[in-house]
Amino acid sequence: MSDEAEIIVGRNSVLEALKAGRSLNKILIAKGERQGSIRDIIGQAKEQGLVIQEVEMPKLEQLSKGVRHQGVVALAAPVAYAEVDDILSAAYAKDEPPFLVLLDELADPHNVGAILRTADATGVHGVLIPKRRSCPLTQTVAKTSAGAVEHVPVARIGNVAQTLKNLKKQGMWIVGADMDGTKNYYEADLTGPVVIVVGSEGQGMGRLTKEACDFVVSIPMKGQISSLNASVACSLLLYEALRQREMKEK
């Protein structure tokens, strides 16, 4: 994990990172540790909606590489996370219908990085990643994105279905990609304010996520393999959305 994220070690360092509003993927705390400043760390982390995980002491020893960790280590993201509202505001400021991607429990950092790279190329305004059971922004994601992580805002969200419901209220159309989609992806209208939802590598979209979609599209498969790599499938949808949007502007 050490090459995956910047590691912040020790109580004071983690507290300062929290106070400074650093984008932290996760805080790891030694099992049973609840004394003194650890309580402050847990309190501030909860206020900021961060993921806190209790781990065995050897895990912290491994991550801290000999630095005195005092029972706490934080894993920081390589760039700051954005807010969903700021992403939408930036799209409207450009007089463009918001074009978002939501990654539902995508775990492979290489897929997340590749999707960010395509998102940058196709004019996506922002990518949404759940806080739990999903790959956060790591050094591997940043490297695979070939610099796109610096240009495409990424927001971390809580409950996926609730987030999609809120986006619908703001006029967004939710388009899921799945093998059992009711229409081919190029038959769907992707020109308006849209969120394209891509599921995990093995399971696809979760049931509640799928139910929150306005419609679900599929990619025609003529060969023996029944599905595409998640980042390839996402790329097809993003480029189709870009094609439709450019045609509409002509």
Residue 1 within any structural domain of the chain: no
Which of 31-35, 55-59, 99-103 holds the top average pLDDT? Answer: 99-103
What pLDDT band is residue 36 in, cutting at 50, 70 and 90? confident
| Statement to judge: residues 14 and 90 lie in one domain | no
Domain that holds residue 34: 6-76
pLDDT tens per residue across span 63-74? 888 788 888 999
Asked whether the predicted pLDDT for residue 2 surpasses 50, the reply is no
- Check if the beta carbon of residue 103 is closer than 8 Å to that of residue 112: yes
CATH of the domain at 30: 3.30.1330.30
User: For 188, what's the count of Cα atoms within 13 Å in the CB-facing half-sphere?
Assistant: 29
Query: Mean of the pLDDT values across residues 11-17?
Result: 88
User: Measuring CA to CA, how many Å separate 142 from each of 8, 84, 101, 120, 128?
Assistant: 18, 20, 17, 13, 15
Instruction: Fill in the amino acid letter for 98.
Output: P
| Statement to judge: residues 102 and 194 lie in one domain | yes
**pLDDT > 70 fraction of the chain, expressed in percent and rounded:** 98
pLDDT tens per residue across span 196-237? 999 887 778 888 999 999 999 988 888 887 778 889 999 999
pLDDT tens per residue across span 129-187? 998 888 889 888 988 999 899 999 999 999 999 999 999 999 999 999 988 888 999 99
Residue 15 within any structural domain of the chain: yes
Q: State the chain's mean pLDDT as an integer.
A: 89
Query: What do you get for the CA distance between the two ends of the chain, in Å?
Result: 48
What pLDDT band is residue 22 in, cutting at 50, 70 and 90? confident
